[in-house]
Every structure is written in C-alpha cells, then in structure tokens.
Structure 1
Amino acid sequence: MTQATAQHAPSAGASLVIEHLRKEYVRGKAVLKDISLTVEGRSTTAIIGPSGTGKSTLLRCINRLIEPTAGRIMLGGVDLCALRGSDLRAMRRRIGMVFQEFNLVERLSVMENVLCGRLGYISPMRAWLRKFPAEDISRAYDLLDLVGLSDFAQARADELSGGQRQRVGIARAVMQQPDILLADEPTSSLDPKTSVEIMELLNEVANRNNIPVLVNIHDVSLGRRFADRVVGMSKGLVVFDGDPADLANDHLKEIYSGTSFLGH
C-alpha cells in the first residue's frame, strides 16, 4: 500500500460516499446513469428494483469487480476509482462480499472456506500450505458459532444446503474484518424461512461489527422488514431513498415502472 493510501486507510464502520457514478457496458448506453449515495454507521440498506436496473452493477462497481465509467466511490476518504494494483487489492480486503451463488470452494471444508477470508493477509506460500495464524483459526470458529455452523466445520462445502452455504459465505466475508459488507441477492435462491434467517444474520453482522451492510434484494417485503433504509432504483437511477415505513405503493409503481411488484 502506498503512503497516501495508508494514511487514509478506513476504520470499522467507515463511510461510503458515491458521487455521480455512471457505468456503460456499451458506449452511450448507461446501466447506471447518475448514482449518488452516502452510507455510514451500523445499518442495513436494502436496494430494490426490477431486474436489469443496475443493482448488481452498483455493488460490483463499489468493490471494483466492474470498472465504473465515471464518478467517485469514496470509502473512508479513499477514492476507490483511483486505485490500481496493490493499493486496490489492499482496499478490497476492507469490502466484504456475499454472493447470490455463494462462490464457495466446493471441495474444501467449511472451515477452510471461512479462512479464505484471510487470504489477502497472508503470504501465497502460507495460503498454499493452509498455514493460518492461530488467531485467525480461533476467530473462524467464533464466526461459525455466530452463523450456527459449529458442528459443520470439517464438512465439505458441497455437502451443505443452500442456506448453510450462504451462512458460510457470510462468515467468510466477515472474516475479512471489512469496513462494509455488500450482499448481492443473498436470498434469491432460498426458501422463505431461510431467507428470513439470512436477513436476520446480516442485521446481526452489522450490529456486532458496527459496519454498514448493503443488500440487493428482490423481495420488497424482506427489505421493508429488515432494512433501516430502502434505496429504490429504476432505469439506472435512484428514485426512492428513505425509511422503509415511507415506501408507499406509488413509490413501488415508479420503481417497477408500472409492472407488478407483488410477490417481490
């Protein structure tokens, strides 16, 4: 990490400031048109909207899995869009990510998957030999206890149910000790009961770690129930940003462009 980046390294709960973010996959055709958001403190923000409106693109721009076309993304005072190489890799460690399809290493054990959250902090040789510090192993066990999988530490990831896999994904992301946690449709492939449990767990993660959580979610009722804030996106723009209690049917009609949102 360069001296400039080190001086501005974020701390737990660092604020995320997005300014005039734009993303074009095809020149002149923006998926994200002009997104400006500030997220800070211990909170859960649900991002809702129809498929194709740019919700997943937004999260992937934040952690630079996708390159923004224009705008700034500031985390703890550091402009992520300006970082390259080792500076970018160092800052990515501070952004936890929970994926829709879990993204676990199926042949590895649950414990090994959770410890993957520390790969950016140890040498490649130690990672290859799976030689993690004792404090990392101890913390991994604590996280497995938090997500309710203490009895599955040595089970292979491919032996788990979908809900259990998502719990491993959350533990792995928290293992990074991130300043912010991003969750991309974490409940889309889960049954209603498990979806509620995953949202409860994400809220607990936000509270215990004093960090903001951003969740792309297709289920409006879940967003209303568990989020402190709802951001509604339509056609690449933010058209609602406020308290879940203030999200009215007229707002939902605008977000979903008149299409049915029942069942979301």
Structure 2
Amino acid sequence: MNAAPGLVTESGQDARSLVIRDLVKEYRRNKPVLRGINLTIAGHGLTAVIGPSGTGKSTLLRCINRLVEPTSGEIKFMGQDLARLRGRQLREARRRIGMVFQEYNLVERLTVMENLLSGRLGYVPVWRAWLRKFPQADIDRAFGLLDAVGLERVALRRADALSGGQRQRVGIARAIMQEPDLILADEPTSSLDPKTSVEIMEILSRLAGERDIPVIVNIHNVGLAKRFAQRVVGMTGGHVVYDGPPDGLTDADLKAIYGGENWLDERP
C-alpha cells in the first residue's frame, strides 16, 4: 500500500487529524462490512475514498459521525474517541462534523435560507430555533454562503422547487454553516450529470479550501477523485488497498480496487 505524503501522527502537529484504528463494522454477526480499517487523515485538504458499491465507503463515513455504531475500533478526533461518545458529548462532537448527503437531506417544505440556517441548530437556544429567530450574524453569514454557491437569487424558494445541483449546493453551504472542523461528503455527485458533478466538486473543494476545513468524500467517479483530491483511499471488500496521491494511482491499483479490466477503457 502506498503512503500518502503530508500525513501527521496522532501525537503531533495537527490537532484536527483523524486517526482510525482497527475499525470494524458488522451489520450481521461475523459478516463485517469494514474489516479493521486503519487510517490517519491530516486536518487539511480533500481526501477521496473510492471503491465498488458495497465495499464499505458510506459505512466508513457514517461510523465517523456515528450515524451508524462501530462494532469495534477507535475513531480519534479532536482529542476524543468518537466511537465511545454518548449523549451530550456526542451531540457536541457532531456539531464539529459537517455532512453532505447523496440525497441532499433537505427539508423540502422549507426555504433555501431556512435549510441553511438549520446548520446552526446545534448552536442556538431551542426557543430561537423553534421560532426561527436566528441571530443576525447567522443570517448574514447564510446570505454570504448562498452568494458563494451561486444561489443568492433563490434564498426564499422552497427546497422542493430546486434542481438536484441546486439542492446539493444548499447541502454544502449548510454543512459549512456549522463552522465544522471536518466535512464528510457521501457520494455528493452520484445523482448529478457530469457537468453539474464537476461544478459541485469545484464548490466543495473551493469553499472548504478557503476555510481550511478538511474534507473526506466518497465518490464513484475516479476522474473526479484524481482531479480534486490531494489523497485517494481505495477500498475493496471492507479493506483499504490503496492510500496515496492521485497521480500514483495506476491501472494495476484500479484493478485491485474494482476488479477486472474491461472497464478501464471506459473511464471518464
């Protein structure tokens, strides 16, 4: 397995590094989806996780933010083992991890602005959230993010009136509204056409880069992974089989990740 440049150690230089040790996830007893994952991801840049469907890419991300419960192992982030947090500590840790979903996960009947402001729910009193009375600073920041993703003209439009690409832009902006220390993006382009997919990856890469927020993105499109990521992690069968820079990813590595070789002639 190739080593990626620029990694940091748990002891060291980057407080936002994510250290995953011996991570196992079983949905059914003795049938693990993740089979002892070990990764250290630095607190900067975009890391792409590639691999065939069913190999555990989404499960890996959902274990990190505890949308699913790890069976065993450690997930160290910001001085805590996320795998062992409960209650208030878990809620506070989740505030620091923004999530961009494959199916957008917006509240369809709410406006674009209201969906964006939901990214601040973990930071405002319950009564403010219930009455939708967010601080002016949050509202101003939301308008600035809408401008940054090219949606300033649709702030008051309902989410169910948007195209898929527009919805994903809202999802990215909402994640950044959390002011997170890490963003996880689970197949953010899988439902989009090629042109829109490039635009979404450009927006995610640019906004996170400007704010120095590390991103881990699961993605099927190898071409997009190589274009936008500083590091690629290739998974197959619940194992990591490649970990290194995009330009080090060879046809032999891709065959090890995906199996077969006929598809190599049809890559985007």
* Cα distance in structure 1, aligned partners of 2:189 and 2:267: 14
Given the alignment, which residue of 207, 213, 216 partners 1:214? 216
Contact 1:43 1:211 in 2 (8 A): yes
Which aligned pairs between 1:3-22 and structure 2 lie closer than 5 A? 14-22=16-24
Contact 2:18 2:43 in 1 (8 A): no
Contact 1:13 1:180 in 2 (8 A): no
Given the alignment, which residue of 203, 207, 219 partners 1:201? 203
In the other structure, the counterpart of 2:100 is: 98
In the other structure, the counterpart of 1:255 is: 257
In the other structure, the counterpart of 1:138 is: 140
Q: Do the aligned partners of residues 67 and 121 (structure 1) sit closer, same or farther apart at CA in structure 2, a change above 3 Å counting?
A: same
TM-score by length of 2: 0.92
In the other structure, the counterpart of 1:88 is: 90
Deviation per residue, 1:11-69 (Å, 9 max, x gap): x9711111111000011110000111111232011100000000000000000000000
Paired AA for residue 208 in structure 1: E
Gaps of 5+ in 2: 1-13
Deviation per residue, 1:167-195 (Å, 9 max, x gap): 00000000000000000000000010110
CA-CA distance at 1:257 after TM superposition: 2.3
Paired AA for residue 160 in structure 2: D
What's the Cα RMSD here? Answer: 1.3
* Cα distance in structure 2, aligned partners of 1:206 and 1:129: 30
Contact 2:47 2:216 in 1 (8 A): yes
CA-CA distance at 1:263 after TM superposition: 3.9
* Cα distance in structure 2, aligned partners of 1:67 and 1:258: 33
Q: Give the aligned length.
A: 253
* Cα distance in structure 1, aligned partners of 2:211 and 2:72: 31
TM-score by length of 1: 0.93
Gaps of 5+ in 1: 1-11
Paired AA for residue 195 in structure 1: S
In the other structure, the counterpart of 2:192 is: 190
Q: Provide runs of 4+ in structure 1 moved above 6 Å.
A: none
In the other structure, the counterpart of 2:77 is: 75
In the other structure, the counterpart of 2:152 is: 150
Given the alignment, which residue of 159, 169, 172 partners 2:171? 169
* Cα distance in structure 2, aligned partners of 1:49 and 1:239: 10
* Cα distance in structure 2, aligned partners of 1:42 and 1:150: 28
* Cα distance in structure 1, aligned partners of 2:126 and 2:140: 21
CA-CA distance at 1:121 after TM superposition: 1.1
CA-CA distance at 1:205 after TM superposition: 2.0
In the other structure, the counterpart of 1:30 is: 32
Deviation per residue, 1:136-186 (Å, 9 max, x gap): 111111111111111111111111110000000000000000000000000
Deviation per residue, 1:227-253 (Å, 9 max, x gap): 111000000000000010010000000
